[in-house]
Amino acid sequence: MANATPMASTDTAAGFAGLLIEPAAILALPPARQAILIRRARLAGLLGVLGHRAEQAGLFPQCSAQLRDHFVAGQNVARDYERMLRLETRELYRFLGRLDFPLVYLKGAAYQLRGLPIARGRVASDVDILVPAPALEAAERTLLRNGWVADKSDDYDQRYYREWMHELPPLRHHARLSVVDLHHNILPRTSRFSPDAGRMLARIEPAGEPGMFTLCPEDMVLHTCAHLFIDGELDNRLRELIDLDGLLRAFCAAPGFLDRLQARAGELGLQLALFYGLHFAARLPGTPVTTAALQAARAAAPRGPLRPLLLRMMARALLPELVEEHRAVRRWSTGLLFLRSHWLRMPPALLLRHLAHQAWRRGGLKRAAEGAGG
């Protein structure tokens, strides 16, 4: 295997993730380090996962009352989100299931429908659905008629989503305040890494209740890799790395899965995303990433002179940063990765136009706030 167990630590992404994967090491931490772990877990949206895994490992009787209370609180919050996700998944199917296209759930809803272990304790703030691009208008119109409202009213934001992104502007239910994101792809239209969504829809699999689908296992892994390392700026994104670890553990039990995953990345043009995903997953304890799979992913990924620097910046950015830390190196890392995410998302001319608009809007909001305060 390519990975080695890191030292129990709350100060590196691999060490922090290792404590979620093997929570028994938490008991060896001094109380001050346990407190930091809890704070980071809460910031990362992983306190429920940590509590669930600590309970599954039988650690509660050995924990201090304070530590156990944090774990239980995290679990209770996560259970509320799990109930919300089950309700919203069924409500969306009640309205969209009657339309003539497959309803494909992504991310947290998909994990729950497939009964994957990573769904336990996981907090999901919205429901993500993939529908064929020609069906987007009908899906949106149906939801707008049945209690959902546009969450973004700004004309520029509407255009940004509809012309350039891989999803429509978010829709929020007027009573439950839950949010649904209607996707037609997993990466923006304008990204040079945007895959053929038709290929993904051709391999969807039934899951949960009749009429509900998820991506196939290979595409679920690739979606997580793409969302984390191509579409996002990586600031405080450790939860997605934990998702990736859990998906690999669940699916690598099938013989030849890593080979099929590599082949699928080639079909969809997601070799770079897969390399980054396997590189960081291989650093976690027990993740089933073989040295051969990691080497194959590295060889297939597009090469660039900045890759070693990017890997170091990514490792820093993945870890949730506490308020009192604000390390200059991390701020530079997250700032540069933010620019990188936009560079991968848009061609240069469109990127400059978008950044100029965002800068103008931030300046306008600041002036409005100053005027209101005067």
Tell me, what's the pLDDT at 366? 44
Q: Specify whether the CB–CB gap between 180 and 92 falls below 8 A.
A: yes
First to last CA, the chain: 62
Does residue 357 have a pLDDT over 80?
no
Q: Encode pLDDT of 169-228 as tens digits.
A: 999 999 999 999 999 999 998 888 999 999 999 999 998 777 899 999 999 999 999 999
| Reduced 3-state DSSP string for 332-356 | HHHHHHHHHHHHHHCCHHHHHHHHH
The pLDDT tens digits for 102-144 are: 899 999 999 999 999 999 999 988 999 999 999 999 999 999 9
Whether the per-residue pLDDT at 4 is higher than 60: the answer is no
- 317, two tokens: 């950015």
Cβ-count burial 194-220 (b if 16+ within 10 Å, e if not): bbebeebbeebeebbeeebbbbbbbbb
Distance between CA atoms of residues 281 and 298, nearest Å: 13
Residue 282 to residue 151: CA distance in whole angstroms: 38
Which amino acid is present at 143?
L
Q: What's the length of the chain? A: 374
What pLDDT does residue 348 have? 65
The per-residue pLDDT for 108 is 94
Which pLDDT band holds residue 158 (cuts at 50, 70, 90)? confident
Tell me what pLDDT residue 361 has.
Answer: 66
Residue 163: per-residue pLDDT: 85
What is the model's pLDDT at position 253? 92
Q: Which of 187, 188, 208, 184 is nearest to 88 (CA)?
A: 208
pLDDT tens-digit map of 62-99: 999 999 999 999 999 999 999 999 999 999 999 998 89
Identify whether the C-beta of residue 126 lies closer than 8 Å to the C-beta of residue 92: no
pLDDT of residue 325: 58
> Tens of pLDDT along 8-55?
566 778 888 889 888 999 999 999 999 989 999 998 899 999 999 999
Q: Decide if 93 contacts 211 (C-beta within 8 A).
A: yes
Query: What whole-number distance in Å separates Cα of residue 248 and Cα of residue 242?
Result: 10
User: How do residues 260-271 score in pLDDT, each as one tens digit?
Assistant: 999 999 999 999
pLDDT value, residue 14:
83
- Write out 109-172 in H/E/C secondary structure: HHHHHCCCHHHCCCCCCEEEEECCHHHHHHHHHHHHCCCEEECCCCHHHHHHHHHHCCECCCEE
Q: In the chain, pLDDT over 90 holds for what percent of residues?
A: 60
Order of strands, sheet of 126-130, starting from the edge strand that comes earlier in the sequence: 148-150, 171-173, 179-183, 126-130, 103-106, 212-214, 205-206
pLDDT in tens, 222-261: 999 999 998 876 666 889 999 999 999 999 999 999 999 9
Over 50: is that where the pLDDT of 7 sits?
Answer: no
> Is the pLDDT confidence value at 319 over 90?
no
> What per-residue confidence (pLDDT) applies to 252?
96
pLDDT at 257: 97
DSSP-derived letter for residue 63 is: S
- Check residue 371 and give its pLDDT: 41
Q: What is the pLDDT of residues 284-318, one digit of tens each?
A: 988 999 999 999 999 999 887 888 888 888 888 88
- pLDDT, residue 16, reads 86
Q: Rounded CA gap, 170 and 148, in Å?
A: 10
- Residue 146: pLDDT over 70: yes
Distances (CA, A) of 359 to 151, 353, 362: 22, 10, 5
- Model pLDDT, residue 347: 67
